[in-house]
Amino acid sequence: MKKNAKIIYVCELILFIYLILFAVLINVVSPFFKSVSTIVILVVILALLIAFFGMSKDKNYLRGTSTRIVISGLMAFFLIIYALGILLGFNKGYIYNDFFTLMKNIIFIISFTVLLELIRYLIAKNSFQNGRLIFVFTILSAILNILLEINMGVLSTYEDKFIFLSKVIFPVVAGEALCSFMTVKTGMLPSVVYKLVMNLYIYILPIVPDLGNYIYSVANILLPFILYSVLNRIIVHYDKEKEQLRKINLVVFVTPLIILFLILVALVSGIFKHRIIAVASNSMAPTYRRGDAIIYEKVDVSNLEVGHILAFKREGLIITHRITKIWKQNGKYYFTTKGDNNKDVDLYTPKEEDVLGRVRMTFKLIGYPTVIINEYFGKE
């Protein structure tokens, strides 16, 4: 067992050194070199593992059941996101790009996925329940995936960094954690199926839903969590050593979380009539303060009155101030606004097209995480 651990740690050390070199040279070498070098280093690590451990067939008794669950989950996932696409719109898939570039990307994704999952499988199979070994590999594989996605040149603003954090880093970590769990508990096949489908669909489908950064992030974090919950329930059901845990109904815990996520998606994305945003200043104190969250409702501007709290756009920001005056000019509505905590009215005059809605509800303090994150990434 100790010998196995040493060999696995050596392979993980090789991958770690490669990641350091990759990060240092990320803006120097070409994308083609990054792809080729990644495949080469994975082939070397896989060859070392096979040389020491051999390559035995995956005979996990839950492999077939788990694969069917993953496929069903993926089908439900695509059904939901394409239904959302009807509301939010679609983009053209990469299938319309240059054929040579398309095939190069597809071949790399297939090769990268199969090699990475073979390495994960051999580490899991030969670690003898040593959780540290598979944990370290999960971290390294997540970093590798993130580095392959990152382009430091375009992460120039705090907004770009936050989008990358939510759209790439969080989903990658969730996906890698799920694959390690599935490989350890149910075998390699479910992980390969999951990774290939999730990484290839934008290249082989003619249209892909334009979900926006927030919904995309939530969907790609929620899917691994749901698959983990379902698979864990199946594993507990069949694990005789944990028979007493069969009484735990995971649906009781999972369902409220799913409902909460769906509500948050609806409120934050603005798909429907109401939207929730965080308050970043005290200009409306004491009505609400910095760190509170407010919900505004989309309304017809003709129904707005003096005294209503207006949500409007100004230079990419959302402002929520009270209406002090309304007038109509050339068929368009104009508004004078003022923060309750400000001495003077706003210099900026919101126009009809700037209006987002009317503030309807306030929740104390729950907007602080968003405010803190925005301020953190805004320090440049």
pLDDT at 267: 57
* Cβ partners under 8 Å of residue 65, min gap 6: 186, 234
Low-confidence ranges of the chain (pLDDT < 70): 1-2, 27, 86-88, 96, 151-160, 236-272, 365-380
Tokens 């995480």 correspond to what residue?
Answer: 369
Report pLDDT for 154: 52
Q: Looking at residue 333, what is its pLDDT?
A: 93
Every domain of the chain and the residues it spans? 2-269, 274-377
Identify which of 216, 124, 107 has the alpha carbon closest to the alpha carbon of residue 172: 216
Tell me which residue of 206, 183, 208 sits closest to 193, measured CA to CA.
183
The predicted pLDDT at position 289 comes to 87
What does the pLDDT look like over 268-299, one tens digit per residue? 555 567 777 778 888 999 988 888 888 888 88
* 294: nearest Cα among 342, 373, 360: 360
pLDDT at site 245: 38
**Rounded distance, CA 56 to CA 354, Å?**
63
pLDDT for 295:
84
Q: Look at the chain and count its residues.
A: 380
**Preceding omega of 256 cis (within 30 degrees of 0):** no
Residues 6 or more apart whose CB falls under 8 angstroms from that of 369 comprise none
Which of the four CATH numbers 1.20.120.1200, 2.10.109.10, 2.60.40.60, 3.40.190.10 does domain 274-377 have? 2.10.109.10
Q: What is the pTM of this model?
A: 0.64
Query: What confidence score (pLDDT) does residue 56 get?
Result: 77
pLDDT value at residue 316: 75
Whole-number pLDDT of residue 242: 45
Q: Rounded CA gap, 241 and 257, in Å? A: 28
